[in-house]
Structure 1
């Protein structure tokens, strides 16, 4: 079967959180706030609004979590795709800390909501970073700066200790983040939908929004194939999937493809290679990442491409796995799929007011699980009257990514960084 954006993922096959039965919009209605997009950004926004008693209607083109929200690696850690140390150099330490604290807000919201709403998403504590490079002094310094400047609780793991947990000849030292965690992202999406609906949010699936109009009275009208919604406020939460509705916003979203597979149960082979329950990613530019799943399976992902469709995707990812863990060469693959992430040119989310009554919570590629919840909470606060809540994200406005030329440039950047990483590690073989 060819792999497309609609290919079922392992999450769809194994998700323990049932899919909510949701109608399509078939009539005209009015609401205080309309949310466009039923991924985690839209669902988190709707849930934050519902928790404040603000009437909300959500319109989703397919089913909740059907895009990037239900297809990703499932890792949750503080920060953004653009690193906190880089943000400190650009914005100053105080403003970088405000952003870092905002990302932690999203993590706290996820934990609280999973517990409060009994979301069956198999949450497991701990995220580890595996160093691809023999540079322990630099890694120790990075850990120290993040702990000192951003109040993190990272632990540096020297290679002897790290290799006791991860039996790879490719790795050197590592970092353990005890505040990070991993989970089933499709289950989280469905759980958010169930929770928001339980608090009064009207959610309509299979209701793509084809038009956005502003009337003379300042209200917004959203047009779908079978009905329309008139709202005082609109929050746009589409990203790489779907139509951004505003030309300026559409031009600011760069879709980037990445890839994931899930193995068949590996039994003792997995236990012999990976001896910790944490999610893991490495420190290359185009990071590889993985996490153990219930039942002895392994989720493995990585790579960046302009093209979602890849010939023999499972074989490609199996070779990547065998490069890191030779003892896991030749594993059987249960499912492999592509995913599409949305990025802004500055590698930060778009969380802001675009026009009076029009907001955006988008472009969380790379850190979408915590970022979407952060963005939804801050926009809900702003709609409630706390305008200063969005101040940390003020420097990051939509910027044009120049369409196909931007995608070609992104691919060239990836190849350049991949070549640089290969050069750095060319003579480094872990003991």
Structure 2
């Protein structure tokens, strides 16, 4: 679009349009002892804290910044079911634990919806379904097979042809896809703030602006140090994901932090009521995943991994934003003159196998990480699962335990990732 680019803020549109006030609580001060200490105040850590507190477990959570500062307050707000691999592939690799992981992925949106209703969280929850769209004929054939599999599993998906996509999505760019009624959306920053309040009301101690600077064993307990306080705990859960640092040796090297860039238009207005008139969310089949939706105030929000940058700095002139604008106008040419009013980005935690990882390390040190862009629903579901495990009341189903392994050639991630990005974009163009 013409004119100066909108300057990105940490949470972009979500901070500008939040219905809830920022979560306020004191940073950790002094010495405290709890049953479970949690590092990371995003969706995963907050879900662990809430579900532990509801079981009567003494729990404290440390967040380095304000609640919602990381991916939980910056994502696209799409509540999608499933994970990268299907049940057959997961079972072949992990047995019953793989089947459990598949189950968690499939039920995650309904779990989150029930949690939001139970705790009366003010976060713009809607569940009109989602569209998975094929960016070419080859991908359309694969989505047709995926629809058949989901139907066998009892999911009421609908197969879509180009006319269906044009009528229900408002674009002629895609040859087809499928509709999944389980998809939903939220205002993610509001959800993070509301989860923190719900966890505090349940009895959890939530401490923003309290980065954990050291983790060590001392007299049979874990010791977590911050600038002005100290926690001692029997068990520790680390939920820092793409924002992991050196606190747990080897954790940061097991993940690739990748930026997912997003832009939001001005409100669409009556002239564009045909675009996602039902309020569904969308993601497409290209390797460099693209996703879009209407925001609660009627804007079109579109995001994707335009490059594989892992920088946390906010650069308003990053070429990734221009790539997203070009893609937006390719899908919806009639939006070419609509201003882009918000730009922002946040880090997604990518694992080598594109699956979420649970690491049970020595002496009751537990890690959940690697949601690979599907974390809004799945992080809440797996957080509840880990809370039950930490409370000594494990659920019937489980997820695989994996060793903490470094990503190959992690120190060369920036040039390798950008090379991989270019190769994947080339394959997308060719239709593979």
Check whether TM > 0.5. yes
Whether the aligned pair in 2 keeps the contact of 1:351 and 1:375 (CA below 8 Å) is: no
Structure 1 residue ranges without an equivalent (≥5): 426-431
**What residue number does 1:428 align with?**
none
Partners of 1:253 and 1:343 within 8 A in 2: yes
Give the 3 Å change call, closer, same or farther, for CA 101–374 of structure 1 in structure 2: same
Are 1:330 and 2:337 counterparts? yes
Q: Who is 2:42 aligned against?
A: 39
Aligned partner of 2:166 among 144, 149, 163: 163
CA contact (8 A) 1:210 1:224 kept: yes
Q: Provide the residue aligned with 1:405 in structure 2.
A: 412
Tell me which residue corresponds to 2:210.
207
Separation in 2, partners of 1:22, 1:111: 26
The alignment status of 1:414 with 2:421, answered yes or no, reads yes
Aligned to 1:283: 285
1:64-103 alpha-carbon deviations (Å, 9 max, x no partner): 11101100011112212x2326734852786543222112
* Shift of residue 296, structure 1, vs aligned partner: 2.0
Q: Equivalents in 2 of 1:369, 1:40: separation in Å? A: 7
Alignment check: 8 A CA contact 1:236 1:244 kept? no
Match of 1:363 among 363, 367, 370: 370
CA distance in 1, matches of 2:146, 2:107: 23
- For these two proteins, the number of residue pairs brought into alignment is 421
Structure 1 equivalent of residue 14 of structure 2: 11
Aligned counterparts of 1:184 and 1:317: Cα–Cα separation in 2: 21
Between the aligned partners of 1:403 and 1:142, the Cα distance in structure 2 is 33
- CA separation of 1:163/1:256 partners in 2, compared to 1, >3 Å: closer, same or farther? same
Which deviates the most, 279-288 or 4-13?
Answer: 4-13
Match of 2:79? Answer: 76
Once the 2 structures are TM-superposed, how far is the Cα of residue 25 of structure 1 from its aligned partner? 0.9
Deviations 1:147-171 (A, max 9, x none): 32x4433211122222111232311
Partners of 2:245 and 2:251 within 8 A in 1: no
How well do the aligned residues superpose, as a CA RMSD in angstroms?
A: 2.4
Cα-to-partner distance string for 1:246-279 (whole Å, 9 max, x where unaligned): 1121211211111001111120243144333100
Cα distance between partner residues in 1 of 2:268 and 2:357:
40
Do the aligned residues in 2 keep the contact of 1:5 with 1:339 (CA within 8 Å)? no
Q: Give the superposition deviation at 1:386.
A: 4.0
- 1:378, CA displacement in angstroms? 1.5
- How much has 1:374 moved relative to structure 2? 2.1
SS of residue in 2 equivalent to 1:179: coil
Distance change >3 Å, CA 289–CA 269, structure 1 → 2: farther
Q: Does 1:349 align with 2:352?
A: no
1:320 Cα deviation (Å)?
1.5
Alignment of 1:129-208 (within 5 A): 129-135=132-138, 136-148=140-152, 150-208=153-211
> Could you report, residue by residue, the CA deviation over 1:308-348 in whole angstroms, capped at 9, with x for unpaired residues?
44536544322220011111113212210111111221211
Q: CA deviation at 1:3?
A: 9.2
2:400 corresponds in structure 1 to: 393
TM-score for the superposition, normalised by structure 1: 0.91
1:229 aligns with 2:245: no
Q: Answer yes or no: is the 8 Å Cα contact 2:385–2:394 preserved in 1.
A: no
Report if aligned partners of 1:322, 1:329 keep a CA contact under 8 Å in 2: yes
3-state SS of 1:28 partner: strand
Q: Is the 8 A contact 1:41 1:372 kept in 2?
A: yes
1:14-68 CA distances to partner (integer Å, 9 max, x unpaired)?
1112222111112111111100010111101101111211110001100111101
The TM-score normalised by the length of structure 2 is: 0.91
Aligned 8 A contact 2:38 2:49 in 1:
yes
CA contact (8 A) 2:39 2:61 kept: yes
Give ranges in structure 2 of 5+ residues lacking alignment.
none
